[in-house]
Amino acid sequence: MNTELEQKVEALLGRMTLAQKIGQMVQTERMAIEPEQVKAFHIGSVLSGGGSCPGDNQVNDWVDMNDAYWMASMEEDDEHLAIPVLYGVDAVHGHNNVSGATIFPHNIGLGAARDEDLLNRIAQVTAKEILATGVDWTFAPTLAVARNNLWGRTYESYSEDPDIVGAYSGAFVDGLQGDLGDDAVVACVKHWVGDGGTTEGIDQGDTRISESELESVHIKPYYPAIDNGVLTVMASFNSWNGDKCHGHKYLLSYVLKERMSFNGFVISDWDGIDYLSENYFEAVAAGTNAGIDMFMVSEHWHHFIDHLTHHVVQGTVPMSRIDDAVRRILRVKFAFGLFEKPRPKARPWSNDQSFGSEAHRQIAREAVRKSLVLLKNEQQLLPLAKNQRILVAGKNADNIGHQCGGFTIAWQGTSGNEFVVGGTSIWQGIRDVAAGSVLSTNGTGEDADPALHDVAVVVIGEKPYAEGMGDIRTGDDVIVQAGSQIKGLLKVLEPYGDTLVLADLHPEDLQTITNITSRGVPVVTVMLSGRPLVTNQELSASTAFVAAWLPGSEGQGVADVLFGDHDFSGKLSFSWPRSDNRTSNIGDDDYRPLFAYGYGLSGNQVN
């Protein structure tokens, strides 16, 4: 406990009116609020939802936007106290909303790298790119321990193993927050808690497990983050044994705040309290009384303020709870040094040239190399030689958008090479080192010819998705009721597909491979995916097979390893399924995966 800091918090809290306190408890989306409203309603925080960006999405547009909100928050007069606004984004694999940012592999790939030092450096680079845009806070890292590959957010998870997630959680928080100096941003571990354990992997679904399993699998990775001083925690959309986490006083107020001594603040997820009751007025009290401190309200923040004010006046939310929430928010703002920082335009890292720089991209490229898992390598097909004549094919070969996956520029990601500025596709990376390589004319490999091509690299796999829209639902009825509304979309969401069997999910991929092998050219398959998939047919049709996850903007990292400049070193942090839509996890009773957790060949190994 830092006495000087606590005194500052108490002194400021003591000067605040109820309206000023409740305003601090509100976070809303940039589209829903003007700077003058931030002042008039004493708003504590503004965010960019997935894909939401100012102006032309250039670094200076972000700095200007942040500057305007900050200046409004800092005007002091009789009605308003100068309390700096905190701006939050989902920088979950680099500063992924912003044009020209360095995009790192999604967490699932980083899990295969097994390198805490790398995670720490990625977090430091991400912090610098965030600071370049005048932003203070990222909703990362995700500490989900994904236990079912059907879940659309599996790629946001480092591993099915809580030990890997735990080892990374401290390293990542340390990289983002450091010693809370000029090069720090505020970290946010999410989603508290059990998001990766829902039945059938349904996003925002119900995690039906005992308390001891909740503790040993899903809570465990939060300890290193709290030890490293993580300043914020996001509540989860999922339920635990039927009770929604957003209204769970035991999990929020007792386990997290009291037992685990978390002194920062809890933010809700996007309109996350709206599902606590049919009646929004009641939902506001339920979320506040359960222990949420700041509320992410996409649009209807006026109603939220009116309702919470009403509750305090009528006594259904005690003033002590409001004071506790605001104390926590102010504590974070003071601890982060926000009161001492100049306006965003005048901060040392704002508009910094290192944003998207070669030095940053080198770290992302290293991460790509280390995340690749070699599952099969017959006839010593790998490493390739740079003087070979190589046919490059497959729908994901020249598609940086697909390489990056969801949460890149747009919430659901993008397709093609036009939106992610500054990256390199896998094809471009191969072409740069192997002059004799060609891109298949229509991508499907029908132009394969053993007289012209010694070998083919076929890049296959999933297309981008995010959250519930990435779920795989195996029931007959693939259009299902999602756990809740997501980002203002209809409650009924169409999932990504109905099977984890790639040959059924994306038959075009196997077709491309066999178009080439049937013409007598051996194939190295590189699969992009947000989760392990059932790939028996593609594996047996390929001579070598690489799981590349969602590598991000630096496609050259794939060529670095395919051509043997660096060895394969990635090890599965998720068990690879054998033959059906079931996931098995390390430690399960009937554990019979095709490739066990920890599997991964090196390039000179033959298999």
The answer to whether the peptide bond before residue 93 is cis (omega within 30 degrees of 0) is no
Using Cβ positions, the residue closest to ligand BGC within the complex turns out to be 139
Give least dist CB 547 to ligand BGC, A.
Answer: 24
Residue placing its CB nearer to ligand BGC in the complex, 412 or 585: 412
Whole-number Cα distances in Å, 462 to 290, 295, 339, 440, 505: 39, 34, 45, 19, 9
Confirm if 567 and 440 have CB atoms less than 8 A apart.
Answer: no
Cβ at position 502, least distance to ligand BGC in Å: 26
Q: Any bridge partners for residue 232, and if so which?
A: 188, 265
Backbone phi and psi for residue 70, each to the nearest 5 degrees, phi listed first:
-65, -45
H helix intervals, 178-318: 211-213, 222-227, 249, 280-290, 301-314
39 near ligand BGC (CB under 6 A): no
Long-range contacts (CB closer than 8 Å, 24 or more residues apart) made by 310-315: 310/281, 311/281, 311/284, 311/285, 312/18, 312/22
Active site residue 467: yes
For ligand BGC, the closer CB: 27 or 417: 27
Total residues contacting ligand BGC (rule CB under 6 A)? 10
CB of 411 to ligand BGC, least distance (A): 8
Counting Cβ atoms within 10 Å, is residue 95 exposed (0-12), middle (13-18) or buried (19+)?
A: buried
Q: Give the span between the Cα atoms of 597 and 571, in whole angstroms.
A: 8
Q: Does 538 bind ligand BGC (CB under 6 A)?
A: no
What is the DSSP track for 29-92?
Answer: EGGG--HHHHHHTT--EEE--TT--STTS-HHHHHHHHHHHHHHHT--BTTB-----EEEE--S
From 269, 274, 366, 398, the catalytic residue: 269
Angstrom distance (rounded) from CA 249 to CA 245: 8
From residue 314 to residue 353, the character string flagging contacts with ligand BGC as x (rule: CB under 6 A) and all else as - is ----------------------------------------
Please indicate whether residue 269 is annotated as part of the active site.
Answer: yes
Site string for ligand BGC, 256-275 (x = CB under 6 A): -------------xx-----
Tell me the closest approach of the beta carbon of residue 294 to ligand BGC, in angstroms.
Answer: 13
> Quick check: 246 binds ligand BGC (CB under 6 A)?
no
Closest separation between CB of residue 497 and ligand BGC, Å? 21
Secondary structure (3-state) at 239: strand
Count Cα atoms within 13 angstroms, Cβ side, for 238: 30
| Residue among 91 and 558 whose Cβ is closer to ligand BGC | 91
Q: In this complex, which beta carbon is closest to ligand BGC, that of residue 269 or of residue 398?
A: 269
Question: Contact between 35 and ligand BGC (CB under 6 A)?
Answer: no
CA distance 369 to 362: 11
> 437-476: which residues touch ligand BGC (CB under 6 A)?
467
Nearer to ligand BGC, 123 or 322 (CB): 123
Under the criterion CB under 6 A, does residue 190 sit at the interface with ligand BGC?
yes
Interatomic CA distance for residues 526 and 200, integer angstroms: 28
Q: Does 139 bind ligand BGC (CB under 6 A)?
A: yes
Options 467, 471, 509, 560, the catalytic residue: 467
Tell me which of 23, 35, 44, 49 binds ligand BGC, using CB under 6 A.
Answer: 49
The least distance separating ligand BGC from the CB of residue 457, rounded to whole angstroms, comes to 34
**Burial of 448 per CB tally in 10 Å (0-12, 13-18, 19+):** buried
Of the pair 90, 447, the CB lying nearest ligand BGC is at 90
Nearer to ligand BGC, 230 or 384 (CB): 230
* Active site residue ranges: 269, 467
Q: Give the binding site for ligand BGC (CB under 6 A).
A: 49-50, 90, 139, 190, 269-270, 467, 486-487
